[in-house]
Amino acid sequence: MDYLALAQKLVARAKKKGARQAEAFIEVGRDAACRVRDGEIEDLTQATSKGVGVRVIKKDRLGFAYTSDFEGQSLEHFVDRALALAEAAAPNPLNGLPSRKEVGATDVGELFDPQVAALPSDWKIKAALEAEKAGKAVDPRVRTFESVGAGENISEVYLASSEGVRAGFQGTYVYLYAVPVASDGDQLQTAYWVDYKRFLDALDAPEAIGREAARRAVRMLGAKKVKSQQVPVVFDPLVAASFVSSIAAAANGDAVYKKSSFLAPLLHQRVGGEDLTIVDDGLLPKGLGTSPFDGEGVPTRRTAIIEKGILRSFLYDAFTARKAKTHSTGNASRGYRSLPAIGTNNLYLEPGTKKPEDILREVKSGFYVTAMLGHGANIVTGEYSRGANGLWIENGELAYPVQEVTVAGHLLKMMKGIDAIGSDLQFRGSTGAPTVRFSELTVSGT
């Protein structure tokens, strides 16, 4: 089926039925996944899916409808529904699609790996089994796996609008993960390790995934609580990436416009040290979050949110940018079931020069956090409090595992309190970070 032509047809129908502006966003995808257990396949899933979302502006009112039913009559019906729904919304002169001047596409290079698209089921089964086997071989205390699996996705996106958008792209990704469970007879501990790439050649080897997951689970055996105290805290790259996500959430232009972000009053001010640079880069070659245009047809770009410690930019889609009297940063993120909302493309904290070992070695007594629980970052107030697992650092060495504690601080103070950034930037998904050390956070335990 010519999906781009279909998108244009839906836009034309909406216009004919009275929409001032209209946009159709179509996603078509193919997914396959497999999980294994004890050397055998546990499940195999295969599917194709598709859907279209139509956004209309009629008399300054916004309506939206989506459907996965592509039958001709049903599609026409659904465009009419989007228009009828607009009647229920309030008029807002700022409602509108990105203009002809704003839309376009950037050349971001290849996002589609033919090797991933042609990946046989056997590859996934074999890869998952290898990861499981390698994980078990790490230590006899690796008893079982909660899950080990692999999968791939091939997706196509098509976008057409009354404002001149007529574009599409194809992308792939492939992933591999392991969640082992270790037991010492007394305690059970788990961990996970994953890799996620657009291109097969860039994916970590299955053995590496299995081994790293197992190593992380086994070293947590015997974990205990520590007493409440304020100490230096080191986040490993995975945990640091979730911290960076919290900062990006606070840089969301919509939250900022509503003054619902602690970062709102701080534009162009110092929020961290010279070595703190956080970037959202929609152009990162082969990045999982890379695309030629965002969810409403605005070319993606590289936006430094924080550059050398100075808060430089917030993230915007077209509507919020119009409200805030600025321009879209190409951060409209969406699936066909939703209106565009501000999100990140490839988000990362730029690496420093220190080796992660050295970052730990300089700590006399502190906490190395390797996993977190909960979502306790409040971007309105900046309060940060999350459950944490990891290892206690004594005289620069990892001494013993710790669980059932929280680490707490304030996001702004935390950024300002970063006193070491590692050279080990890594992406396990579309957000990346290196090892990060905070000079002091509160650890709550006994």
Partner 1 sequence: MPTRSTRRTKPRERSPAVVAPRPPLLSLELIERLLSAAMSKGGELAEVYVERALVTAVLLEERRIKSAQTGLSQGVGVRVVAGAKVGYAYSDDLDDEALFRAATTAALIAHGGGSEQAFKVSRAPSPSHYRVPVPLSEIEVAKKADLVLRADKAAHAYDRRVKQVVATWADQTKHLWVANTQGRFAEDTQDLCRLSVQAVAEGKHKERRSGFFGGGGRVPFTHFETFTPELVAREAARQAVSTLGAVEATAGQQTVVLAPGWSGILLHEAVGHGLEADFIRKGTSLFAGKLGQKVASEKVTVIDDGTVANARGSVNVDDEGNPGELKVLIEKGVLKGYMYDALNAKLMGQRSTGSGRRESFKHLPMPRMTNTYLAPGDDTPEDIIGSVKKGLYCAHFGGGQVDITNGNFVFEVSEAYEIEDGKLGRPVKGATLIGVGPEALKNVSMVGCDPMPDPGLGTCGKDGQSVPVGVGLPTVRIDDMTVGGTRVGG
Least distance in Å: CB of 108 to partner 1?
A: 27
Number of H helices, E strands in the chain: 10, 21
Tokens at residue 215, please? Answer: 């190593």
Q: What is the DSSP letter of 94?
A: T
- C-alpha distance from residue 189 to each of 132, 219, 220, 222, 402 (Å): 16, 9, 6, 9, 11
User: Binder to partner 1 among 43, 184, 201, 357 (CB under 8 A)?
Assistant: 43
The amino acid at 384: Y
CB atoms within 10 A of CB 101: 9
Q: Which residues pair with 371 in a beta bridge?
A: 389
Rg of the chain over CA atoms, in angstroms? 24
User: Binder to partner 1 among 339, 362, 365, 439 (CB under 8 A)?
Assistant: 339
Residues 81-100 that bind partner 1 (CB under 8 A): 81-82, 84-90, 92
Least distance in Å: CB of 254 to partner 1?
A: 9
- C-alpha distance from residue 320 to each of 12, 261, 314, 341, 347 (Å): 26, 15, 11, 9, 20
Kindly tell me which of 264 and 418 has the beta carbon lying closer to partner 1.
264
User: Distance between CA atoms of 211 and 124, rounded to whole angstroms?
Assistant: 17
Kindly tell me which of 190 and 246 has the beta carbon lying closer to partner 1.
190
The torsion region of residue 96 among left (phi > 0), alpha (psi -120 to 50) and beta comes to left
Least distance in Å: CB of 435 to partner 1?
A: 22
Least distance in Å: CB of 352 to partner 1?
A: 26
CB atoms within 10 A of CB 188: 14
Least distance in Å: CB of 22 to partner 1?
A: 14
Any contact of residue 383 with partner 1 (CB under 8 A)? yes
User: Binder to partner 1 among 16, 68, 137, 399 (CB under 8 A)?
Assistant: 68
Kindly tell me which of 106 and 183 has the beta carbon lying closer to partner 1.
183
Total binding residues for partner 1 by CB under 8 A?
84
Any contact of residue 21 with partner 1 (CB under 8 A)? no
Least distance in Å: CB of 374 to partner 1?
A: 4
Residue with tokens 């956070």: 441
Tokens at residue 162, please? Answer: 């009354």
User: Binder to partner 1 among 117, 307, 408, 426 (CB under 8 A)?
Assistant: 408
Residues 416-445 that bind partner 1 (CB under 8 A): 442-445
User: Binder to partner 1 among 3, 66, 175, 293 (CB under 8 A)?
Assistant: 66
Least distance in Å: CB of 404 to partner 1?
A: 5
Kindly tell me which of 278 and 321 has the beta carbon lying closer to partner 1.
321
Cα of first residue to Cα of last residue in the chain, in angstroms, is 62
Residues 218-247 that bind partner 1 (CB under 8 A): 220, 223, 225, 227-230
Residue with tokens 């159709």: 24
Identify the three-state secondary structure at position 15: helix
User: Binder to partner 1 among 3, 64, 158, 367 (CB under 8 A)?
Assistant: 64
Least distance in Å: CB of 64 to partner 1?
A: 4
Q: Find, among 329, 304, 305, 308, the residue nearest to 319 by Cα.
A: 329
String of contacts with partner 1 for each residue 156-185, x by CB under 8 A: -------------------------x----
Any contact of residue 346 with partner 1 (CB under 8 A)? no
The torsion region of residue 223 among left (phi > 0), alpha (psi -120 to 50) and beta comes to beta
Stretch that binds partner 1, among 100-108, 302-310, 359-367, 380-388 (CB under 8 A): 380-388
Q: Where are the alpha helices (DSSP H) in 187-274?
A: 206-218, 237-250, 253-257
Residues 184-203 that bind partner 1 (CB under 8 A): 187-190
Stretch that binds partner 1, among 131-139, 342-350, 400-408, 419-427 (CB under 8 A): 400-408
